[in-house]
Amino acid sequence: MHEKLLGQDLALVTGAACGIGRGIAAAIAREGARVLLSDLDEQRGEQAARVLRNEGCDARFLAADLAGPEGPDRLLAEVLPLGTPSVFVHAASPVRRESDTLFNVSDATWDRMLSVNLRAGFMLARGLARQMIARAIRGRMLLVTSAHAGTPRNLPHYSAAKAGQTMLVKELAKTLGPRGIRVNAIAPGAIPGGGFDAGAAGIERLARCTSLRRLGTPEDIAGMAIALLAERFSAYVTGTTVLVDGGLSLHNWIEPAEL
């Protein structure tokens, strides 16, 4: 029988109602962890948790709006009475619109994108780290960034937020490593669903610009997430970002691919 990789863990996953966050939460639950799924979308979040419970997994949904200044603290106040998570995955990110370019993105949209990705990621990581250290828990943290953390994509708020997360991972890893807490990031390429929707024509064009000639799935990202969270595979890995993009970054995805 397959030994569960995360059978001793309690995990908190933000952005878990759909897309990559949901895929990672499901993979963590199927590897034996008790999982707390958090998201702004209560209907889809509850449904995601219910699906996992129907599979025999231990899953619970907690609604949270991480854009507000008190959102992260409110989520922590709900989580900690249930136990101290040893696994934290921050996948929450507002839906992005391709029209939110330099001169079109509003101040409110800019603030929300950075608040959910960067501010909430920092506050939750810091709050959970304090609890892990107090209880001598060897924790693991994973932030979901983007292939565009280092490559502009005409969405300045999104690229800036993800680039900030990349450095935040390094800062957290440097400080928390001596306390036995590993912190890494995973940078997905084009993964339809959640906050990404390029339309049928856009998906076809992006697939042609990807070395593996297909777009990714949440399951593609979840597999790597498990590898980074499981001590069996990555006990000596911290402070790094793993790119999972099917080779998209090897091509100029803005221009049509030459076949």
Bridge partner list, 87: 11, 140
Contact in structure between 208 and 257 (CB atoms under 8 Å): yes
Q: Please confirm, yes or no, whether 158 is among the known catalytic residues.
A: yes
Q: Kindly name the residue from 122, 158, 196, 253 that is annotated as catalytic.
A: 158
Contact in structure between 147 and 100 (CB atoms under 8 Å): no
Strand order in the sheet with 59-63: 59-63, 34-39, 10-14, 87-90, 140-144, 182-188, 241-244
Contact in structure between 163 and 151 (CB atoms under 8 Å): no
Dihedral sign from CA coordinates of 169, 6, 179, 73:
positive
- Taking CA atoms, 76 is separated from 128, 130, 192, in Å, by 8, 12, 30
* Phi, psi (degrees; rounded to nearest 5) at 243: -85, 125
Active site residues: 158
